[in-house]
Structure 1
Amino acid sequence: MKSKLLSFPKLVAFLFLLLMAVIWIIPLIWGAVTSFKTDMEFQTMGFKLLPVQWVTTNYTSLLVDNYSTPLLHWFFNSLFISVAHTLLVLIVVSFAGFAYGRMRFKGRNAIFLFLMATMMFPGVVNLIPLYKIVDSLGWVNTYWAAVVPGAAGVFNIFLVRQFMVNIPLEVDEAARIDGAGDFQIFFRIVLPLSRPILMVVALFSFTGSWNDFLWPSIVFNDIERMTITSGLQLLQGMYTGEPTLQMAGAIVAIIPTFILYLFAQKYFLQSMSLSAGIKG
């Protein structure tokens, strides 16, 4: 009887999650299928899931010999920027998390609290001063403008710091007895143990950089430098009467993040507990 009572809430939770999954995935499937339809079929057949005639002209029009809206070039721009930004974020937040979480220095807690207080301000407040800084450095319309800003995200530092705090300090003390310094402890002990949370930070950083629309639209005015998100706006303006072609561009834009979540979902689940993988 007890097992039956316990199974009912699990069944309700399963049905609810299944319903949410269906609601989420149906528009995605419809969009992917629509990208293989002709405009004539899309406008005359109404809501019909599978196309009468499967065509790939929408993708070839966007990806092959397209100089006005070089979607493939935008794709690789976004890929380079997102990967470079993610690597820079991992370097910065891992060092910052180690310093705030495991090193002892005067004013550490006060500085960290001040850093956390900056999260109360919306990001849009920083746009004008950030653009002024980027412009003074001569980074406007360069990849630096999209890679460097945001590398020291406060939320990411908080996640890594909280994870590293949960690693027993006895590990550091034992390493120091053996003659290890701070850098050796960081690279050989703390960093390997922090792999789950760093994977989560990498996941958040990559998707955040890839999906960012506002900042690339501000700092890039050269069509060859655009990212795929800002380029989709140009695509929408140029192909207003071709919704299937626009849908093909949107499907191309979501492929990397979809693949990333598909292969990194176990690390995302591990992040639900900041002490995942740390015992003792």
Structure 2
Amino acid sequence: MTTSPTLTTSLSALRHRSAKRRGRRLTVVIGTALAIGALITAFPFFWMLTTSVKPQSESLTYPPTLVPRTPTLQYFGTLFTELDFGQYLANTIIVVLIGGIGLLLMAMAGYAFAKFDFRGKQWMFFLVLATMMIPVQVTMIPTYLILNGMKLTNTLIGIALPTLVSGFSIFLFRQFMSTIPTEVLEAARIDGAGEFRTFLLIVLPLSKPIIAVQAVLTFIAGWNSFLWPLVIANDQHLYTLSVGLSLLNKEIAVNPSLQMAAATVMVVPILIVFIVFQRYVIQGFALSGLK
């Protein structure tokens, strides 16, 4: 028994339409699941923002209200006028800016490991990677003793110095800069450019994606620094935002609106930086070989 071409075509078209309907249903199901997951993930952030603009009486009501009835920015002003959050913010910005110097140093180290051959290169790179396996808490006491001997305790430089460079960041720079064509660097040297000029005018512009990744990571590390500033500084005027937020939770535990206002000041800049550099961050991780 033979099947007519018309019947075969109709069956094929029917199977195709059925597959498309299944594909659309699967897309709808996956999209719905992702949307629900996104809403659940974003809800604490939304709650923080709304609570930060609620009056104290409304933030303590039960059952709680999702959207403030009478929003106010009073507690943001309180943070910077009656409390020391202006000083904490300035300290945090200084620590982040000092970390920017480390960004250049790590880029230079990654470039050296990627494009230069020298004695002991493999062993030195192995030591850099080995530092990634050592918890920060293990080296905290020796680091404190070293900085104390250098008279850098209770200073902003002492807070920022231990996080100036990291093995993971050097590894990322090395992985990315290994992809830069050596021919381009050789052409620059033939044209008379020195090594430092080649690094500044060719290597760094070609490394914008990984620099963006490291800028975000460095910013987050400096902005969120908590334990080390608490250890190294005994002067409250040298504390960073995260330490100030913890002190606020201890001192004023009856005002959720003030706490959420402080948390908003802490979190929103990180989100802004990540949104601005998001495209470069994804590109940098992809080109560095990290999945």
**TM-score, normalised on structure 2?**
0.86
One-letter identity of the residue aligned with 1:189: I
Cα 1:142–1:9 change in 2 (3 A) is farther
Alignment partner of 2:247 out of 214, 217, 234: 234
Alignment partner of 1:220 out of 233, 239, 251: 233
One-letter identity of the residue aligned with 1:32: L
**Distance in structure 2 (CA, Å) of the matches to 1:151 and 1:247:** 30
One-letter identity of the residue aligned with 1:45: Y
Q: Does residue 78 in structure 1 map to residue 92 in structure 2?
A: yes
- Check whether the contact 2:154–2:232 (CA below 8 A) recurs between aligned residues: yes
Correspondence 1:84-233 to 2 at 5 A: 84-85=98-99, 87-233=100-246
Cα 1:9–1:266 change in 2 (3 A) is farther
Q: Secondary structure at the match of 1:149?
A: helix
List per-residue Cα deviations over 1:201-256 (Å, max 9, x = no partner): 01000011101111111112212111111111111111011122111111111122
One-letter identity of the residue aligned with 1:219: I
Instruction: Report which of the two structures shows the higher radius of gyration computed on alpha carbons.
Output: 2
**Distance in structure 2 (CA, Å) of the matches to 1:272 and 1:16:** 26
Cα RMSD of the aligned pairs, angstroms, is 2.1
- Check whether the contact 2:95–2:222 (CA below 8 A) recurs between aligned residues: yes
Cα 1:174–1:237 change in 2 (3 A) is same
One-letter identity of the residue aligned with 1:150: T
Query: How many pairs were matched up?
Result: 272
- Check whether the contact 2:96–2:223 (CA below 8 A) recurs between aligned residues: yes
- Check whether the contact 2:76–2:258 (CA below 8 A) recurs between aligned residues: yes
Q: Does residue 258 in structure 1 map to residue 271 in structure 2?
A: yes
Identify the range of structure 1 (192-201 vs 51-60) with the bigger mean alpha-carbon deviation: 51-60
**Distance in structure 1 (CA, Å) of the matches to 2:288 and 2:30:** 26
One-letter identity of the residue aligned with 2:92: S
Cα 1:33–1:104 change in 2 (3 A) is same
List per-residue Cα deviations over 1:15-49 (Å, max 9, x = no partner): 44433321221111111111122232222232321
One-letter identity of the residue aligned with 1:110: W
**Distance in structure 2 (CA, Å) of the matches to 1:258 and 1:192:** 25
Q: Does residue 60 in structure 1 map to residue 77 in structure 2?
A: yes
Aligned residue for 2:63?
A: 46
List per-residue Cα deviations over 1:94-143 (Å, max 9, x = no partner): 11011100011111112101211221111111110111111111111111
What's the % identity of the aligned pairs? 36
Q: Secondary structure at the match of 1:47?
A: coil
Q: Give the deviation of 1:191 after TM superposition.
A: 1.4
**Distance in structure 1 (CA, Å) of the matches to 2:222 and 2:85:** 17
Cα 1:30–1:113 change in 2 (3 A) is same
Cα 1:45–1:100 change in 2 (3 A) is same
- Check whether the contact 2:185–2:198 (CA below 8 A) recurs between aligned residues: yes
Cα 1:60–1:174 change in 2 (3 A) is closer
**TM-score, normalised on structure 1?**
0.89
Q: Secondary structure at the match of 1:84?
A: helix
Q: Which runs of 5+ in 1 are unaligned?
A: none
- Check whether the contact 1:37–1:51 (CA below 8 A) recurs between aligned residues: yes
One-letter identity of the residue aligned with 2:259: Q
